[in-house]
């Protein structure tokens, strides 16, 4: 077993937006100059470990993210196919094969690895989601999903809708 692997607390915990807002990102959200994509597009730079939400005025909101660890990175264009508040988590069979101690399913809550919100990407297994471990922001630690601190994913969640284009570089 990977000594750096993160084992979720099997008690999903409460669903509390106020508590979730306390887990700030180690990488502050900022507004930066940005061009080359249509307003409303989400652009994810896995190399930079940053997510950009393109605005109308030649800027983007820049958020810190956690990305896939080596061997779990991917690139491409997807659309947000579904949004969920306090999502439940069902680890894919591939993850359970690597980490048999994981639960078959976990209800949403503060201890759930998907955090306070999830944005599902097309028909893939990947999501942009919150995390119960904000210290992983800025690092390559996931199985391919894009992690955000709960306050940041909650902010992004209210700004975008189903059908939003997501470009992963």
Active site residues: 129, 145
8-state DSSP, 71: T
Q: Are 74 and 126 in contact (CB under 8 A)?
A: yes
Cα 59 to Cα 53, 89, 147, 167: the distances in Å are: 9, 34, 22, 16
Q: Please provide the DSSP assignment of 13-68 as one string.
A: ----HHHHTTS--SS--EEEE--SS-TT-EEEETTTTEEEEE-TTSEEEEEE-BEE
Residue 155: φ, ψ to 5°: -65, -50
């Amino acid at each position: 077993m990977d000594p750096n692997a993160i084992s979720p607390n099997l008690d999903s915990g409460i669903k509390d937006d106020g508590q979730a807002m306390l887990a700030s990102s180690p990488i502050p959200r900022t507004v930066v100059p940005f061009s080359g994509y249509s307003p409303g597009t989400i652009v994810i730079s896995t190399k930079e470990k940053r997510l950009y939400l393109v605005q109308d005025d030649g800027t983007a909101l820049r958020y810190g993210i956690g990305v896939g660890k080596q061997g779990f990175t991917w690139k491409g264009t997807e659309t947000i196919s579904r949004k969920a508040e306090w999502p439940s988590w069902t680890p894919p069979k591939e993850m359970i094969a690597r980490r048999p101690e994981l639960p078959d399913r976990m209800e949403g809550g503060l201890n759930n690895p998907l955090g306070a919100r999830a944005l599902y990407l097309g028909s893939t297994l990947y999501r942009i989601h919150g995390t119960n471990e904000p210290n992983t922001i800025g690092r390559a630690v996931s199985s391919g999903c894009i992690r955000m601190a709960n306050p940041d994913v909650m902010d992004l969640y209210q700004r975008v809708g189903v059908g939003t284009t997501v470009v992963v570089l």
